[in-house]
Amino acid sequence: MTNPLHAAYYADSAVQQRVCVVENVPLARDTFRIRFHCPQIAKRILPGQFVMMRLNAGDDPLLARPLALYDTVLDGDQQPVGLDIVYLVVGKMTGRLAKLSAGSDMEVWGPLGNGFATPPTDHLLMVAGGIGQTPFLALARQYLGQRVYGGSPLRLTPPERVTLCYGARSGVYLAGVEDFEALGVRVRLSTDDGTCGHRGLVTDLLRRELDGAGEGTHVVCCGPEPMMEAVSQITAVAQVPCQVSLETPMACGIGICFSCVAKVRDGQGGWDYQRTCVEGPVFAAERIEW
């Protein structure tokens, strides 16, 4: 078994630096997109990876927070020079993050995590709940051949279809829909209160998309754990491969504290704890012991 400490994505290869905020703008209720300049990280990060972000002013909150790549920012020569991160205000850290203005600085380290596997597929089906759409914009752009990530282009045949099934509590919380539509992604929406799209669960949309799905469908999923568990069960019945990006809380992001462990099946009928920040955050759905 390969020791994950020797993996290319381990934190020893991450970059830690102070970065300058370029802009910090609202996308939906309590949801913002922050952009900052960081060429070293931007040139290396892959869809599905994340960065740890910490405020420089004071020590409250003391710990950094993991936030997924939304997309890279390119300069006039089409070279990656910055990152876009989309976040939901849910506590002290993100509340203070939302108050940062252009010219503010933060401490950031990354890229971290393993990112998404990118098998050939006829239909890339992305399922998101809450703020879970954030890792998928770059993944869709990569599959569609619209941008290179990590410095090396993938030899992928673009899928026939790329679909985003995206659910939220209410229409006011749906963030970045127009960004996906601008890529040519088919967007299917659901809300708990029926204010936008289908009234009900995002898994209802998934079942519709999987009805009659062929072998060429591949599902990726991110969001609240009960939703991801349901998606895992649905795709298992449909015999469709699925990757899940876990949103396990992290303290260090570099595999030291073991606060972000998840139960992962080992292939011999048992399971063991694995660190979401190092061995994940992306896992094959059937390996997770929900």
What is the per-residue pLDDT for 11? 67
Instruction: Count CB neighbours of 240 within 10 A.
Output: 21
Report the alpha-carbon angle 281-202-173, nearest 5. Answer: 80
* Contacts with 65 (C-beta within 8 Å, 6 or more apart), sequence order: 52, 53, 54, 93, 94, 250
Nearest Cα neighbor of 110 from 85, 79, 76 is: 85
* pLDDT by position in tens, the chain (length 290): 344 444 555 567 789 999 999 999 999 999 999 999 999 999 999 999 999 999 987 677 778 899 999 999 999 999 999 999 999 999 999 999 999 999 999 999 999 999 999 999 999 999 999 999 999 999 999 999 999 999 888 888 899 999 999 999 999 999 999 999 999 999 999 999 999 999 999 999 999 999 977 789 999 999 999 999 999 999 999 999 999 999 998 888 888 999 999 999 988 889 999 999 999 999 999 999 99
Query: Contact at 8 Å (CB) between 282 and 274?
Result: no
Q: At what angle do helices 225-238 and 202-210 cross, to 10 degrees?
A: 20
Distance between CA atoms of residues 48 and 281, nearest Å: 8
What is the per-residue pLDDT for 177? 98
Nearest Cα neighbor of 87 from 173, 20, 147 is: 173
What is the per-residue pLDDT for 98? 96
* Contacts with 119 (C-beta within 8 Å, 6 or more apart), sequence order: 218, 241
Is it true that the peptide bond before 281 is cis, omega within 30 degrees of 0?
yes
Which residue carries 């890229």 as its tokens?
A: 111
**β 123-129/217-222 pair status:** parallel
**β 15-28/31-37 pair status:** antiparallel
Query: Exposure of 287 by Cβ count < 10 A (0-12 exposed, 13-18 middle, 19+ buried)?
Result: middle
Is it true that the peptide bond before 66 is cis, omega within 30 degrees of 0?
no
What is the per-residue pLDDT for 213? 75
- Domains within the chain, CATH numbers bracketed: 4-112 (2.40.30.10), 123-246 (3.40.50.80)
Backbone angles phi, psi at 33, to 5 degrees: -115, 120
Distance between CA atoms of residues 35 and 279, nearest Å: 27
Three-state SS annotation for 115-145: CCCCCCCCEEEEEEECCCCCCHHHHHHHHCC
Q: What is the pTM of this model?
A: 0.94
Distance between CA atoms of residues 102 and 25, nearest Å: 10
pLDDT tens figures, 139-186: 999 999 999 999 888 888 899 999 999 999 999 999 999 999 999 999
Distance between CA atoms of residues 17 and 166, nearest Å: 33
